[in-house]
Structure 1
Amino acid sequence: MEEKIRNRLNEQIVAEARRRYGITPDNFEELGGFESFIYGYEKDGAPYVLRLGHSLRRSPGLIQGEVDWINHLARGGAGVAKAVNSEAGNLVEQISDGRGEQFLATAFVRAAGGSVWQMGGWTEPFMLEYGRLIGKIHALTKKYQLPNPDWKRPQWDDPIMTDITSALPQLDSGVMKLVDNNLAYLRSLPTPPDAFGLMHQDAHTGNLFVDEAGNITLFDFDDCVYGHFVYDIAMVIFYAITNHPTPEDFCAQLWPLFWQGYCEENQLAPIWLKEIHPFMKLREMDLYGVILRDIPDYSGDNWVGEFMNGRRERILAERPTINFDFTKIGLVHK
């Protein structure tokens, strides 16, 4: 989190956010957060999450667009953590930070269950359900109508959503050149309504919970954008296989099941599957740039250290993120 945002938060602002959502202090706990302040609370016996973001990072209109789309998905039956109203009936509450900007408070139903690793791991039923969830979100997106043009979310390549545009030019001009080439290709892709629309953009397993019945609830829609549906799919695969000891073997297990589940909920022309690789490469280079910018010493972080080990050389060699042909879908054996 940017220091200029962190330094503006104080107990008076947190207390005002609690007041606006009718939260008592004894049912309130800090949960952490990376780009926003996240708190857990209970109200009328049900668990919720309160998020405090800031207008320096996202405008009130962008937050309105996020929560309106989330609730459209929830009404359609998708497994998402829906937004709930404040005591005044608002989905977004603006609280002055005393410096001319605002903290933006939003609250959500707290997802049931726990992480995939706590709930049995990457089982075949989970892989199928994961595909169904992403497919259902994309199918519902096609029916979404933006109620207010001021709430429109950014495009996938908007500078405010792409860390590499600010992180890499000074840090690694060689990789940035490849980023520019990749972006130019991806921007040349058509944007038909059956393959392009609002998408989560960060639907990895760190942003979902699984309950005991195997139901998945996706949360953290802060990065949702208008983009190619295959980009959402590429993000799922990227984080599933990154740092896996045998990524190709694992992908061979995951991909047919995930794609089968996806196709049960949404139809995406298979020709788009060849674009998984360039979108995975975009995330690979983006993550590389963010780590260079934000984590100068990652020796104590095993996941980051493993990811960065030889990463620059692989990027400069223009090697695919994984050696796998997604167009050869294969059959799921019962």
Structure 2
Amino acid sequence: MDQQIIARFNDTILHKAMRRYGIRKDQIKPLDAFESFIYEFERGGKDFILRIGHSLRKSEALIQGEVDWINHLARGGVSVAQAIPSEKGKLVEVIDDTQGGQFLATAFIKAKGQQPWVAGWTSTRYENYGRLLGQMHALAVDYQPVPAWRRPEWNDASLNFIELYLPKTEAIAHQTYEAVLKHIHALPKDPASYGLIHQDAHQNNFFMDTDGTLTLFDFDDCAYSWFINDIAIVLFYISMDAEELGFKDSASFTHEFMTHFLRGYRQAFTLSPAWLKEMPAFLKLRELELYAVVHRDFQIKGVEHWILESFMQIPGFDVNNGGHIWIANFMKNRKTRIEQGSSFIDYDFESLM
């Protein structure tokens, strides 16, 4: 989280947000978070989530666009964590930080179930995952937001993590990024293939109920992009767990996962199969973006570049922190793979057409 935001946050801000949503002190508890302050609270026997962000990161209009999109999906029957109004009926509550900025509070119904790796994956649940994304893309086709609330395009300057965070010394990674951008910019855009997507629908951003129902949340990164990008991002993250899920490599997992995922997806939405050939480009885009973000987060802590390949050497590194282990696995040989031009997943995606 931005250190400026941390410095401006205090109990007064929290208590103001609590009052606006009718939350008592004995009803709320903090949760781990990355870019915002997140709390769980209980009201009327039901569980909710309170999120407090800041205008330094996202404007009020962008957050209005986010919650409007979420509730549009909920009204359309998509399993998402719906945004709820404050005591005054607002979906976004603005709280002045007395330093020229605003904290922005929003609340959501807490998703039912547990983390999917705890609940357990099956082929049917892969299919449910695909159906969920397909339902969302189907509703994106005709969605028309309030113009002032429109979410950013995928290539908005604020989302250009490579230019923002990746050192210029990573010359080959920058060259690779430019080549990927040139390819992606040439792709056609039409309502049947391009619209508002989640852009981060990985396993940390949904819960799975006992019946296999997935409930998606954290739409903080939603933006306009190609629907195939949403699918590539899903595969990007879950493929990193291929060995834990019992597969010898990411290619064999990809075949199993995508077969079931696409079966569910196609039950809800028809995306031209020709888009599957673009999966490698969007996988490479996410690989480079994450590579840049890791540099950002660890440079902030004064970690030298060479140590990014050897996270276990970092003083104070918590080996029990699953997130850190995941990042360590991602960074293993990552620089070499990028500079050698290796595909993120060596798989013939056109075979899935």
**Range class of TM-score, shorter chain:** over 0.9
Partner of 1:315: helix, strand, or coil? helix
Q: CA deviation at 1:169?
A: 4.2
Partner of 1:209: helix, strand, or coil? strand
Partner of 1:114: helix, strand, or coil? coil
Partner of 2:269: 266
Partner of 1:316: 339
Tell me if structure 2 keeps the 8 A contact 1:80–1:217.
yes
Partner of 2:286: 283
Partner of 1:108: helix, strand, or coil? strand
Q: CA deviation at 1:244?
A: 3.0
Identity of aligned residues (%): 45
Letter in 1 for 2:21: Y
Q: Determine whether 1:180 maps to 2:183.
A: no
Partner of 1:35: helix, strand, or coil? coil
Distance 1:284 1:211 in 2: 30
Partner of 1:170: helix, strand, or coil? coil
Of 239, 250, 253, the residue aligned with 2:253 is 250
Distance 1:41 1:162 in 2: 35
Letter in 1 for 2:176: L
Residues 182-228 of structure 1, C-alpha deviations (whole Å, 9 max, x = no match): 11211111111100000000000110000111110000000000000
Q: CA deviation at 1:145?
A: 1.4
Distance 2:177 2:275 in 1: 20
Distance 1:144 1:243 in 2: 34
Partner of 1:98: 98
Tell me if structure 2 keeps the 8 A contact 1:171–1:292.
no
Tell me if structure 2 keeps the 8 A contact 1:113–1:212.
yes
Partner of 1:237: 235
Distance 2:126 2:160 in 1: 28
Q: CA deviation at 1:243?
A: 5.4
Letter in 2 for 1:192: D
Q: CA deviation at 1:15?
A: 0.1
Tell me if structure 2 keeps the 8 A contact 1:64–1:91.
yes
Tell me if structure 2 keeps the 8 A contact 1:20–1:86.
yes
Partner of 2:329: 306
Letter in 1 for 2:293: V
Q: Determine whether 1:39 maps to 2:39.
A: yes
Distance 1:243 1:183 in 2: 27
Tell me if structure 1 keeps the 8 A contact 2:276–2:352.
no
> Structure 1 stretch 293-302 or stretch 54-63: which is displaced more?
293-302
Tell me if structure 2 keeps the 8 A contact 1:161–1:223.
no
Tell me if structure 1 keeps the 8 A contact 2:131–2:264.
yes
Residues 298-327 of structure 1, C-alpha deviations (whole Å, 9 max, x = no match): 323322222111111111111111111122
Distance 1:182 1:37 in 2: 34
Partner of 2:321: none
Partner of 2:352: 329
Write out the 4+ residue segments of structure 1 that deviate beyond 6 Å after TM superposition.
Answer: none
Partner of 1:107: 107
Tell me if structure 2 keeps the 8 A contact 1:243–1:307.
no
Distance 1:276 1:58 in 2: 29
Residues 84-143 of structure 1, C-alpha deviations (whole Å, 9 max, x = no match): 000010000000011010000000000000001111x22111100000000000001112
Q: CA deviation at 1:273?
A: 0.7
Partner of 1:105: helix, strand, or coil? strand
Distance 1:142 1:103 in 2: 32
Partner of 1:206: helix, strand, or coil? helix
Report 1:127-166 matches (<5 A).
127-146=126-145, 148-166=146-164
Distance 1:171 1:13 in 2: 41
Q: CA deviation at 1:171?
A: 4.8
Tell me if structure 2 keeps the 8 A contact 1:20–1:87.
yes
Q: CA deviation at 1:180?
A: 1.4
Of 189, 192, 197, the residue aligned with 2:187 is 189
Letter in 1 for 2:153: Q
Q: CA deviation at 1:240?
A: 1.0
Q: Determine whether 1:292 maps to 2:295.
A: yes
Unaligned runs of 5+ in 1: none
Unaligned runs of 5+ in 2: 244-248, 318-323
Q: Determine whether 1:50 maps to 2:50.
A: yes
Distance 1:134 1:51 in 2: 24
Distance 1:26 1:164 in 2: 43
Residues 21-64 of structure 1, C-alpha deviations (whole Å, 9 max, x = no match): 00111000001210011000011111000000100000000000
Q: Determine whether 1:126 maps to 2:125.
A: yes
Distance 1:117 1:304 in 2: 17
Tell me if structure 2 keeps the 8 A contact 1:243–1:306.
no
Tell me if structure 2 keeps the 8 A contact 1:86–1:93.
yes
Distance 1:32 1:57 in 2: 18
